[in-house]
Amino acid sequence: MTNRRLYELVSDDGASISPFVWRTKYALAAKGLDYESTPLAFTEISQIEGGRFNTLPVLVDGIKVIGDSWAIADHLDVAYPARQPLFPFAAERSKAVFFDDWIGSTVRPLLFRICAFDIHEKLLAKDRDYFRSTREERLGESLEAAHAKRECLLPGLRAALEPVRLAARKAPYLGGQSPSYMDFMALGVFIWAGSVATTELLEKDDPVHGWLGRGLDLFGGIGRSNHLPGLGLAR
C-alpha cells in the first residue's frame, strides 16, 4: 500500500507516452519509491486535483500534489533525503538543466515533427481533436503534411543525436559510470517517440542503441513495458 499516485498520459492501448512522465517514472524507480498509476487522457488533465494542472506528470505524495517533472524531482530529493539523491550537488542539477535545454531545443522538436501524426493515431479518440488543433498550430502545417516529410527529417535527427552517440562511446551512461537524471530525460524522449513512431528512428547499427538498451534495462526493465516500434523493439 503506497500513498503515492502518479498521473500518466496514456495512448489508446494504455501505454504511458509522455516523455516528461517517463523521466519521473525513472526518477521514482531510481529512488526506490513505488506508486499507483492513474491513466489520463490529455483532455482529462484539467479535471484532476481541483483543475490546478494542464500538463503531466502530476504526483500526489501524501498530502502534497506536485506538477512539473523538475518540481517533482526536487521534491523527491527533499522529501526522501535518506535515499540516493537525483542531484547530489547543485552543479549536477544545473548541468542536467542544460541537458534538458539541449534535448528540448534540438532532439525533441525534431522527433515531435517526425512523430506528430503517429501520436495522433495512437491517442485516445477523445484526445484527437484537441491534439490536432493545438499541434497543427505549433507545427505550422497539418499533421499529414508533417508526416509526408518525415523521411527528410530523419538524417537531421540522427545528426542531432551525435552528442548522445559520442557519450555512449565513452561511458555506459550519459552522465558517466552510473545512470543519472540526464539518462532519465533522454530515455523519456526515446520511449515517448519509440512508442508511437511507425518508422525506425535510428539506424540499426547506431551506437545510441547500446546506451538505450542499458537504459531500458534499468530498474527491472521498466522502459520495456511499452512496445517500441520506433526503436525496433517489441515489448
182 vs 231, which CB is nearer to its own copies? Answer: 182
Q: Is residue 225 within 8 Å of 217, Cβ to Cβ?
A: no
Burial class (CB in 10 A: 0-12, 13-18, 19+), 68: middle
Cell of 224: 520495456
Give me the least distance between CB of 162 and its own copies, in Å please.
4
Site for its own copies in 143-172 (CB under 8 A): 160, 162-163, 166-167, 170-171
- The region, left, alpha or beta by phi > 0 then psi within -120 to 50, assigned to residue 140 is left
71 vs 166, which CB is nearer to its own copies? Answer: 166
User: Can residue 84 be called a binding residue for its own copies (CB under 8 A)?
Assistant: no
Q: Is residue 28 within 8 Å of 69, Cβ to Cβ?
A: no
Under rule CB under 8 A, how many of the chain's residues touch its own copies? 30
Q: At what angle do helices 181-196 and 19-31 cross, to 10 degrees?
A: 140
Give me the least distance between CB of 160 and its own copies, in Å please.
8
- Binding string, residues 98-137; x marks residues near its own copies by CB under 8 A: xx-xx-xxx-------------------------------
- Binding string, residues 40-79; x marks residues near its own copies by CB under 8 A: ----------------------------------------
Q: Is residue 92 within 8 Å of 46, Cβ to Cβ?
A: no
The bridge status of strand 36-40 relative to strand 4-9 is parallel
Please report, as ranges, the residues that interact with its own copies according to CB under 8 A.
88-99, 101-102, 104-106, 160, 162-163, 166-167, 170-171, 174-177, 180, 182
